[in-house]
Amino acid sequence: MKHLIFTALFWLSLFSTAQAQQLKSPDAALVMGFSLQNDGTPTYTLKYKNKEVIKTSKLGLELKNDKKSLLNDFTIIDTKATSFDENWKPVWGEVAEIRNHYNELAVTLNQKGTDRQVVIRFRLFNDGLGFRYEFPSQKNLTYFVIKEERTQFAMTGDHTAYWIPGDYDTQEYDYTTSKLSEIRGLAEKAKTANVSQTSFSTTGVQTSLMLKTNDGIYINLHEAALINYSCMHLNLDDKNMVFESWLTPDAIGDKGNMQAPNHSPWRTIMVSDDARDILASKITLNLNDPCKIEDTSWIKPVKYIGVWWEMITGKSSWAYTDDFPTVQLGVSDFSKAKPNGKHGANNTNVKKYIDFAAANGFDGVLVEGWNEGWEDWFGHSKDYVFDFVTPYPDFDVKGIEAYAKSKGVKMIMHHETSGSVRNYERHMDKAYQFMKDNGYDAVKSGYVGSIIENGGNHYNQFMINHYQYAVEKAADYKIMVNAHEAVRPTGICRTYPNLIGNEAARGTEYQSFGGSKPNHVTLLPFTRLIGGPMDYTPGIFEMDLTKLNPDNHSHVNSTLANQLALYVTMYSPLQMAADLPENYNRFLDAFQFIKDVAIDWSESKYLEAEPGQYITAARKAKGTNNWFIGNVNGETPRTSNIKFDFLEKGKKYTATIYADAKDAHYKTNPQAYMIRKVTVTNKSKLSQLSAPGGGYAVSIIEIKK
């Protein structure tokens, strides 16, 4: 139920003069100041527990082909302050109910000489600040082009940053931990090593950006509700330690085509002296609109397996044949094509995965490489376009769907766009209808390679609109979407909860391309997951990939216990058991945790957390009294100490602990684990070793009397 509160106490939290305002969070720990400089430039500051965390920072937008930008010469013509408090229930999530509680200040500015108006709206929560630019309907500002947004985030010192470089096309980097002053030098080295990355910046970083001050304040910079606007990166002035927004351009360098009335996405600043608060924050979701799908009964969390890891590792292939001449001018004739013998999406192999899913209680099976065209795209044409409805000769769409249905398993579709988004949009209705006709309720979409249209990058306004269009169109067909290589999420899953997952970061697949840093999974929840769940595809049990493909010499930099813990620490309603069935059959006692772990939660507690080092999370399965714990560890071995005081008083539980063995190590002994069972209550404690790149997982099942 919604509650709008206007109290004397709140009004005391707002101090106003002709040029300056002050807004406090509901608990008064955060204080935001707004003022105009002498030249009419809008600025803001932010304090946390009387400590400055954002110094005086400028606000505004530079316009293209305009005599005057929206940067200065403003006067304040109106201010409105409100307080808001509600509880809302997500369709799926880390918790069953979310509190949305903030104090708000809307400042209306009028620009001298142009008579243009801009509203800057601030919302201050107990755990951070959100603000955005709003452009009301007005005669002097209707159509305009953004040359650059000039939003600043002025840091108070040379903080520690956990960052990936600015890039218009990918977020698939390992994170670097450094001082702000070191970013330029380290990024220049990275660019030298990645000369093909033409959109790579040596002074820019991507959001969500995690920071830590020398006195232990955690700061996170991101954006929320990215709709009809370019994705924001941050450019660093490392002499003054000031970040400035840096929007993704289109082919001619424009950063956004706007028509009033309209508004920007929210710019978010999370702040706390406890890292666990950053992980638990719901600011990003709260700054998005409520759900727009009236009937959400068809949106279900999914635990799945799939014909994918064997392709990523090179054990099998997406393409049915290597014989390109069978496909010419969009006309396919595979009757004389010679199968390459490695095609993974064949009927026999897919049925093996369906059988395994059915035997172990999984909801779905994802099949990639089922449709024609992969041999063309991989082998010859960078601009190949798929039609999303034509299967290879060895994949019987209707037969497989009927077989899966008989086993109680749903099939998950795969749509690789190959970067041709206009082609995908032309085929979208037909493709989605094909899915529904054949029993598919979820799709994994892909955007591998350069975007063919409108500038060739993944994060400009054109592409943001495409991703949104795909999600909304899918909702019309009651289809859930898991978008890979798309823009990083910004909480839109609140409004459209059929957006059940995204990749948008360096996922498990990179363990097959040379590996990721062992502390990578201790950083993703502080960065990528701030905006929404990730289809990270965990659950790898065989770390030596030469055993799958003799030509693949990569090593998965994780212990087996760490892989189990990811199902809890890497929150997602879409969880894949990514390894091959035969590898799970070798470790059935450990695989039991993947079978048991829930994917939808009523409560979540972050018990321990330090970015880049460790995370321990506990979650209560929705509709039960059972809990699951996951701990992931970085490079340094440590002993995790936790309490079970979140359990219900007076009840007993059986805790099954899946942990690293004493000699476990992500590189030298990753499959060394031990399993033990103990009885616990809310007074119990656990002291558990976590190996380098390791961790532990615990299932806590109520003992029924």
Cα 463 from Cα 590, distance rounded (Å): 41
Specify whether the CB–CB gap between 457 and 463 falls below 8 A: yes
Cα 272 from Cα 277, distance rounded (Å): 6
Q: Which residue has the higher pLDDT, 2 or 371?
A: 371
E-state strands within 309-408: 327-328, 331-332, 364-367
- How many other β-carbons are positioned within 10 Å of the β-carbon of residue 142? 13
Tell me the CB-side half-sphere exposure of residue 277, using CA atoms within 13 A.
14
Residue 678 CB contacts under 8 Å (≥ 6 apart), including other chains: 654, 655, 657, 684
Buried b (16+ CB within 10 A) or exposed e, 29-40: bbbbbbbbeeeb
Specify whether the CB–CB gap between 159 and 179 falls below 8 A: yes
Q: Among the options 372, 375, 416, 509, which is catalytic?
A: 509
Q: What is the mean pLDDT of the chain?
A: 93
**From the candidate CATH numbers 3.20.20.70, 3.40.50.300, 3.30.1300.10, 3.30.200.20, the one assigned to the domain spanning 302-504:** 3.20.20.70
Write out pLDDT tens, residues 152-165: 999 999 999 999 99
Provide the pLDDT confidence category of residue 198 given band limits of 50, 70 and 90.
low
Residue 550: Cβ-neighbour burial (10 angstroms; 0-12, 13-18, 19+): exposed
Q: Which pLDDT value is given to residue 375?
A: 80
Q: Which pLDDT value is given to residue 4?
A: 44
Lowest mean per-residue pLDDT among 195-199, 554-558, 654-658, 662-666: 195-199
* Nearest Cα residue to 617 out of 691, 552, 564, 677: 564
Q: Which pLDDT value is given to residue 487?
A: 97
Cα 617 from Cα 525, distance rounded (Å): 11
Q: Which pLDDT value is given to residue 16?
A: 46
Question: Could you give phi then psi for residue 134, rounded to 5 degrees?
Answer: -125, 140
Cα 628 from Cα 303, distance rounded (Å): 16
Instruction: Give the predicted TM-score (pTM) of the model.
Output: 0.95
Task: Please determine, for residue 484, whether its predicted confidence score (pLDDT) is greater than 60.
Answer: yes
Cα 87 → chain centroid: 23
Write out pLDDT tens, residues 426-466: 999 999 999 999 999 999 999 998 898 877 799 999 999 99
Write out pLDDT tens, residues 639-664: 999 999 999 999 999 999 999 999 99
Write out pLDDT tens, residues 256-292: 999 999 999 999 999 999 999 999 999 999 999 999 9
Collapsed DSSP state (helix, strand, coil) of residue 534: strand
For domain 2-286, the CATH class is mainly beta
Domain with CATH 3.20.20.70 in the chain: 302-504
Question: Could you give phi then psi for residue 71, rounded to 5 degrees?
Answer: -120, -35
Task: Give the tokens for residue 434.
Answer: 């094909």
Q: Are strands 638-643 and 262-263 parallel, antiparallel or unpaired?
A: unpaired
Write out pLDDT tens, residues 228-243: 999 999 999 999 999 9
Write out pLDDT tens, residues 587-624: 999 999 999 999 999 999 999 999 999 999 999 999 99
- How many other β-carbons are positioned within 10 Å of the β-carbon of residue 76? 20
Specify whether the CB–CB gap between 251 and 456 falls below 8 A: yes
Question: Could you give phi then psi for residue 382, rounded to 5 degrees?
Answer: -75, -15
For this structure, is 97 an active site residue?
A: no
Secondary structure in 3-state letters for 271-336: EECCHHHHHHCCHHHHCCCCCCCCCCCCCCCEEEEEECHHHHCCCCECCCECCHHHEECCEECCCC
Task: Please determine, for residue 7, whether its predicted confidence score (pLDDT) is greater than 50.
Answer: no
| Sign of the dihedral through C-alpha 166, 171, 176, 178 | positive
Count of residues in the chain: 705
